[in-house]
Amino acid sequence: MYPEIEPYASGHLDTGDGNLVYWEECGNPGGKPVVFLHGGPGGGCSPSHRRLFDPSAYRIVLFDQRGCGRSLPHASVSGDLSSNTTWHLVDDMERLRESLGISRWQVFGGSWGSTLALAYAEKHPERVSELVLRGVFTLRSSEVDWYYRGGAANVFPDLWEQFTAPIAGLDGDPVELYAKLLADPDPAVHGPAAVAWSTWEGATGTLLPRPELVADFAVPEYALAFARIENHYFVHNGWLEEGQLIRDAAALKDIPGVIVQGRYDLATPAVSAWDLHKAWPESELVIVPDAGHVYDEPGILAALLAATDRFRAQP
């Protein structure tokens, strides 16, 4: 990765509906604009995300999506997510782009960030110079069913038992059952549920176990915002029609793009990247043979850096 850098500008974007979205800029103020979209939803950005781009070539924009990271109000404090939807986030991106005086930017997103990148690019293709996607997730019901309704339990039965412990003995859809726990005002109820939800992703996202990553996902404040926002999106199917992002991929035909996918990604299995590539044949699909889901597994990281390096000199 590129060396550690600090922002040269940062602030909070007032969305006009009570949300203040944290943003920052790093790298070269006169460079090629790129916007980084974090995962989750609800994950937030970290300093390491700045290091995916050549700081001498890129004007790097990062922002924490509504309710998480350094954005306000934080979902660990406020449970009101009524103005937190996919299309609110797409509008936030446009508002941020305009406020920074950027005409077009490269859009880089992994996991949920790939979902948001596709939603944005299909709505505003004229504003996207390139797409770099990792661990493709399109919020089709089959994808959520696999990871949150028992499919992945066939691979991780021990971790699935930990994930379902808070809802053990209850009948119903795990996503809906978790929604009730996470909305409960009692910290003794929503706290353990949030940690169980969040650590499921931290524990299953890598090809080999990484206890330090699981520990990060288990931090209570992070876990509560992450779980509440992610569950909220899944309960509402991301405010997308079934299969919408694959269906509308023809809107991307004039946008150069690279899709990086771990072969053994069990959070967002490779079939979604494959289906997107078929619907968007102009894209390049890179399947990493020895990787899971997270961006900094060696093969995935190498492919992402190769993509951003390749695009850095293109207008």
Catalytic machinery residues = 111, 265, 293
Give CA–CA dist 154/151, Å, rounded: 6
Angstrom distance (rounded) from CA 39 to CA 98 = 23
Whole-Å CA distances, 91 to 9, 217, 226: 21, 28, 21
Q: Is 172 exposed, middle or buried (0-12, 13-18, 19+ CB in 10 A)?
A: exposed
Torsion sign, CA atoms 73, 76, 78, 79: positive
Q: 68: which 2 tokens?
A: 């998480």
Which amino acid type is present at position 50? R
* Cβ count within 10 A of residue 83: 13
Dihedrals φ, ψ of 62, to 5°? -125, 145
With left for phi above 0 and alpha for psi between -120 and 50, is residue 65 left, alpha or beta?
Answer: beta
Contact present, 40 and 60 (Cβ < 8 Å): no
Residues 6 or more apart whose Cβ sits within 8 Å of residue 125: 251, 252, 254, 255
